[in-house]
Amino acid sequence: MPTLIDLRRRIQSVRNSQQVTQAMKTVATARFKKAHRQVVERRPFWHTFPDLALYLSRISGRTLHPFLEVRPEKRIEVIVITSDKGLCGAFNSNLLATAMTFLEQKKEKATLEVVSIGRKASAHFKRLKYPVIRSYAEGVDKRVEEISRELSRHLGYRFVLKQVDAVYVIYNEFRSIIAPRITVTRLLPLAAEEPEISAGQLQPDWEPEAERIIDYLLRFYLRYQLEHYLLESQAAEQASRMMAMENATKNAEELISDLVLLLNKIRQASITRELLEIQTAVEALKQQGV
């Protein structure tokens, strides 16, 4: 049986933790709102841009741009996006588990290289045998534009120079506050799975010629898509943290109420015991006839 003073200390410490989780939840909520707004505003662009690029490449009928060239996947670059900070539930661990499964699947047929984004991914891949060619681990959330620019240049060159045959991205996509959706997607080559559009349709005019339009369009493809993945991951991270901290606050509340109940029981027991002792003493004195 714990003593009263121990219990009181314990309750106070749980209460302190609860205050911390509560504050973290508030911060995460504010950040989430910002990230969410950004994601919602930018989605129309992100979602229509690759579609348009694909559509244009299909109607032109030929491989007009190096990004559209499909080669056997012998060398693959995998970009893994996690968060810098923890305390966001299973956000990072689930993602890394998916990433590992993906890498294990691909490693038999291809040479793999990893680009890790976020401190959690960097720490994870440090211990493993996969070569990490680039790693961004500090302040990723504040350097989205810089990272996506730099990485898009790097990936673009490597793909065009045939140093890699495919680029995959594994990230948490923001779907709802309850849970993010882990998404594995191919960034390069950009190629359609559907058949080409039949020649019977009205052929569009190109102004200037198709090569130049596709070239113009694809110049932006990598950069804005990478920005997309990074921002989606951030929105999902904040949402996960919000949920995790809300659960922690709730659990602390439950723990406190259990402990308070226990505290009251013990206190009551000790009062009863003391009363009994007094009563016994009184009875004893009575019998002695004092």
Partner 1 sequence: MNPDKDSRLHLRVVSPSRLLVEAEVLEVQVPGLDGYLGIWPGHRPLNACLGQGQLVYRTVLGREERLDIKGGLVRVADDKILVFTGMEDDD
Q: Which residues bind partner 1 (CB under 8 A)?
A: 41-42, 44-45, 48-49, 52, 55-56, 149, 152-153, 202-208, 210, 212-213, 216-217, 219-220, 223-224, 227
- Name residue, tokens 């714990």: 2
Taking the least distance from each CB to partner 1, the nearer of 123 and 217 is 217
Calpha distance 171→94 (Å, rounded): 10
User: Quick one: CA torsion of 137, 113, 241, 258, rounded to 10 degrees?
Assistant: -110
Taking the least distance from each CB to partner 1, the nearer of 95 and 147 is 147
Q: How far is the CB of 135 from partner 1 (least distance, A)?
A: 22
Calpha distance 126→15 (Å, rounded): 37
Taking the least distance from each CB to partner 1, the nearer of 160 and 263 is 160
Taking the least distance from each CB to partner 1, the nearer of 6 and 209 is 209
SS3 call for 122: helix
Q: How far is the CB of 124 from partner 1 (least distance, A)?
A: 30
Taking the least distance from each CB to partner 1, the nearer of 41 and 193 is 41
For every residue of 137-164, DSSP letters joined together read: -SSGGG-HHHHHHHHHHHHHHHHHTTS-
CB atoms near residue 205 (< 10 Å): 5
Q: How far is the CB of 43 from partner 1 (least distance, A)?
A: 9
Taking the least distance from each CB to partner 1, the nearer of 6 and 145 is 145
Calpha distance 62→108 (Å, rounded): 32
Q: How far is the CB of 141 from partner 1 (least distance, A)?
A: 17
Taking the least distance from each CB to partner 1, the nearer of 5 and 199 is 199
Taking the least distance from each CB to partner 1, the nearer of 161 and 290 is 161
Q: How far is the CB of 48 from partner 1 (least distance, A)?
A: 6
Q: How far is the CB of 29 from partner 1 (least distance, A)?
A: 23
The phi, psi pair for 229, rounded to 5°, reads -60, -40
Task: List the one residue out of 188, 191, 189, 172 whose CA is nearest residue 240.
Answer: 172
Q: How far is the CB of 64 from partner 1 (least distance, A)?
A: 12
Contacts 24+ apart (CB under 8 A), 6-15: 7/259, 7/262, 7/263, 7/266, 8/263, 10/259, 11/256, 11/259, 11/260, 11/263, 14/252, 14/255, 14/256, 14/259, 15/252, 15/256
Q: How far is the CB of 174 from partner 1 (least distance, A)?
A: 17
47: left (phi over 0), alpha (psi -120 to 50) or beta: alpha
Calpha distance 134→158 (Å, rounded): 13
